[in-house]
Structure 1
C-alpha cells in the first residue's frame, strides 16, 4: 500500500512540475517576438558574455592552411521578456526552451569554412526566472589558419579564431569575452603531432563597422622527434653520401649509378614536401632549400663524373690505337714517327710529339686531381649548408 502511495505521489509531483513548466512557457511566449531585442527599451545595449572551449584538435593542414577542431561556446545574456515569479509556478527556477523560439544574438565565426553565420547547433537554451539565458552551441569547426612552415619540423604556430557579429553593431549588442578560472590548454585533448601551449583572447574594436571582434589565439608547437628520425636524419645522411661520390674509383663503373640513385632519392624527398607543405613562395621551408641545394650538387657531381669517365675512356683508346716512338735525329732537330696498329710508320715533327705528350699529361692530371678537388668542394658545401641551416633554425 505504501509503494502504491509513493508511486501516486511521484506521478502527481512530476505531473505538476511539467504542467507548471508548460504554463511558464505558455506565459512567456504568448506575446513574445524572437525578432525583438530582449530589452523593454529597444535603444538599450545588450551585452553578450561569451567563452570558447576547444575540446580536441582533429587536423592541422599545412598545405591548405586550415585547422579543424571540435569545440563549443558558452553564451550568456539577459532577456527582460523571459522572467517569472517562482512562487506562482511551484518554485521552478529554470526551464529549457528551443532556441528557435527566442531571440539569440548575432554571432558569427569569421574565416570559417562551415559555420560562418552561426556557432553551431544546440537545440535548447536554459532560462532562469530572472531572465538569464545560457546557450551552449557547439560543432566541428574548420577555420582558415596561416601556418608559417619555414622552420619545419621545429616550427611554432599561432591560429586566430575571430568571433564577432555579422550584421549588427555595438549599438545593438556587444560581445564581452568572459575569462575562465582554469587553463583552457589543459582541457584540449592530447595530440600526437602538436603540443598545445597557450589559448588566449583579446578584444579588437573595428571602427569602420562599429563592432567588437573577439580574437581567440591558439599557440602550439610541432612534436619534432618523429620528423627528426624519419626526415632530417635521412636527408643529412644522403648529403654526406653525396659528398663521398668521388671516392668511388672511375674504373669501377659504378659512379654514375651511384649519383643517379642519390638524385632520385633527393627527388623523392622533394615530392614528399610538395605533398605536405603549402605551395607558396612566402614561407619556403629551410629543409626544402637544403634538399634542393644538395640535389643541385648531385647534378654537378654526375656531370663531372661523366666528363671524367669520358676522358678516361678517350685516353685508353689513344694509348691502345697509337704508339709513339722516335724515328731519327737529323742535326739538332728531333724527328719522330708514329707506328700505327698495322705496323706502318708515318712521319711527324717533334712539335706534334710535344703537343700530344702535353695533352696526354693534362688528361692524366685532370683525371687524377679532379676527384680530389670535387671531394673537397663537396665537403665544403656540405659543411657550409649545414651551418647555414642550423643558424636559420636557431635564429
Structure 2
C-alpha cells in the first residue's frame, strides 16, 4: 500500500512540473511576440526602444542564468568523467602593497590580488540564443572554485579577504580575482642588519586536490609576481619577484612558489643606530687622551659602557633570537669589549700615575722600555732637565724652572754671607784694638789688653774665670782669649748651618722622590699614548671591517627604475605598454 502511494506521488509531481514548464514557455513566447509587435509598432521612438531592449537583455540574462544553473552543482569538480584530464587553473599573484615585515616573529604581511582562471564546460552557452550575451558576473558561491590557499600562512586565516564575483564567458572560462591580505612565514636572515636583504616566499597550491585532479599553470605566462599596481614601501625596496612552478609527479604534488626579494632602506638605522654607536666607540678612545689629574677617566669609560649596553638591548629587542649574530650586534660587541679593556687599562694607568719611590721601585726594564725606547718610537719628547748645583747638591731642573729654583733655594754663599760679614767685622775690630792704630778705643779697651796678655801666657784648654768686673773670661786651648759675644755668634752659626744642612738633605730627598714620581707619571703618559694609538687603530679597523663587509652598503636603490625593469622582464609586451 505504501509503495503504491509513493509511486502515485512521484507521478503527480512530474505531471505538475511538466505543466509549469509548458505554461512558462507559453508565457515567454507570448512576451516575445508581444515585444516584437511593440517593436514593429513603436520603432519611431528611440528612447522607448532602448528601454525595451534593456528589458529584453535583462530577461535574456535571467533566462541564461536559470538555464546555466538549473542542474549545476558547485560542489563537483568540472570534469565530464573520472578519466578526464585534470582541471587546469591558470594562477597569478599581483602584489599591491608590502605592509610589514615583522623581524621578531618572522612574518611577512602583504596585500595581494590572486588571479585564477579555469574552464567549466557546464557554464558554456551560445550567445545567439540569449540576446548575444557573451559573459556573466555571478557570485562566487554559485560556481565551483579551486581550493587554492597559501601554504606558509602564519595567522591561520587561509581564506581571501573578500569573496568577489566571478567572471564567466560563453566558452565556459571562469576568471576569479579575489583580494587578500596574507601573513606568511618568512625566514629572516639578520646577519647583515641593517644592510640586510631578505627573500620571502609565497607558496600556493590546492589544499585537497592532487596534481591529477587540479593542475596549476602560469596566468598569461607571467612567471613572477605582478607589480604593475604596486605601491612603494617606505621601509623596504623590492629587488626581484621571480616565481617557480613545482611539479612532482611521483608525489602528485603541484604548487607555485613566488620569491619576494626585498632590501631594507638603511637611512633611518644609519642616523639612529649606526652613527651614535660609531661615535661612542671613538669617544672611548678619547678616554686615554684625558689627563689623569682630571679624575674623570674612569667615569667617562663607565658612562660609555652603560650607553653601549642600552644600544645592545635596543638591537636585541628589534631582531629575532637567531643563531646568526647581526652586523650591528658584532660592532656593538666589539665596542663593548674595547670599552671594558679601556676601563681596565684606565685603572692600571691611574695606578701607575700615582706610584712613588716609597711604595714601588722602578725596574730597569721599565725604565729602558717606557722612558727610553717607547717615547722615541711614539715621537714623545720629555722636557729637558739640566743638572745644576743648587748650593747643597746636584739636582736636575727644567730650563723653565731654573730661575724659580734660584729664588726658592738660594746658594750656600748667599746663605752664609751675613754670618761671614759679622765675623769679618769682629776680626777687624779685634785687630784694630790690638795694634792701637785706632784713635778711639772702647771703654773696655784696657780689659782687652789684659785678657790678651793672659791668653798669651796660657796655652792649655780654655777655662772660664772672672775678670775685675766679675764677667766670665773664656780662653781656648792655646790660652787665646775667646770673646763671649764671638762664642755666642759661633754657636748660632753652627746651629744655623746644621739646620740648613738638614733642610738641604730633606729637600734633596724630596727632590729625589719627586724625580721618581715624575718618572712614574711619565710612564703613565707613555702608556696612555700607546693605548690611545692602539685603540684608535683597532676601532677604525673594526669599524671599516665590520660595516663595510656588508654586501649592499654603498648600493643605491631606485625603486621606480627597478619596478619598471621587472615589469618589462616578466609581463607581456601588451600588458607592460
Which residue is equivalent to 1:48? 89
Instruction: Give me the whole-angstrom Cα distance separating, in 2, the residues matched to 1:157 and 1:187.
Output: 22
Structure 2: gaps of 5 or more residues: 1-41, 361-512, 553-577
How do 1:60-209 and structure 2 match up within 5 A? 60-114=101-155, 117-178=158-219, 179-180=221-222, 184-207=226-249, 209=251
Matching residue within 244, 248, 263 for 2:286: 244
Q: Please report the TM-score for the alignment, with normalisation by the length of structure 1.
A: 0.81
Structure with higher helix content: 2
Which residue is equivalent to 1:226? 268
Which residue is equivalent to 1:39? 79
CA contact (8 A) 1:107 1:117 kept: no
Instruction: Give me the whole-angstrom Cα distance separating, in 2, the residues matched to 1:223 and 1:71.
Output: 22
Which residue is equivalent to 1:255? 297
Which residue is equivalent to 2:326? 285
Structure 1: gaps of 5 or more residues: 320-355
Show CA shifts across 1:293-333 (max 9, x none).
111211221233234435555759979xxxxxxxxxxxxxx
Which residue is equivalent to 1:369? 526
Instruction: Give me the whole-angstrom Cα distance separating, in 2, the residues matched to 1:225 and 1:97.
Output: 49
Of 8-17 and 69-78, the range deviating more from structure 2: 8-17
Aligned residues: 356
Instruction: Give me the whole-angstrom Cα distance separating, in 2, the residues matched to 1:21 and 1:115.
Output: 39
Show CA shifts across 1:185-223 (max 9, x none).
453211222221222211112456412111111122222
Instruction: Give me the whole-angstrom Cα distance separating, in 2, the residues matched to 1:149 and 1:66.
Output: 14
Which residue is equivalent to 1:342? none
Instruction: Give me the whole-angstrom Cα distance separating, in 1, the residues matched to 2:155 and 2:49.
Output: 49
Which residue is equivalent to 1:353? none
Local SS of the residue matching 2:261: strand
CA contact (8 A) 2:96 2:231 kept: yes
Structure with higher strand content: 1
Show CA shifts across 1:218-259 (max 9, x none).
122222233333322222222211112110011101112211
Instruction: Give me the whole-angstrom Cα distance separating, in 1, the residues matched to 2:240 and 2:271.
Output: 27
Structure exhibiting the larger radius of gyration computed from Cα positions:
2
Local SS of the residue matching 1:377: helix
Instruction: Give me the whole-angstrom Cα distance separating, in 1, the residues matched to 2:337 and 2:316.
Output: 17
Deviation at 1:56, TM superposition (A): 1.1
Which residue is equivalent to 1:388? 545
Matching residue within 52, 60, 76 for 1:20: 60
Show CA shifts across 1:325-375 (max 9, x none).
xxxxxxxxxxxxxxxxxxxxxxxxxxxxxxx99997885465333322321
Q: Please report the TM-score for the alignment, with normalisation by the length of structure 2.
A: 0.57
Distance 1:10 1:83, change over 3 A: same
Local SS of the residue matching 2:121: coil
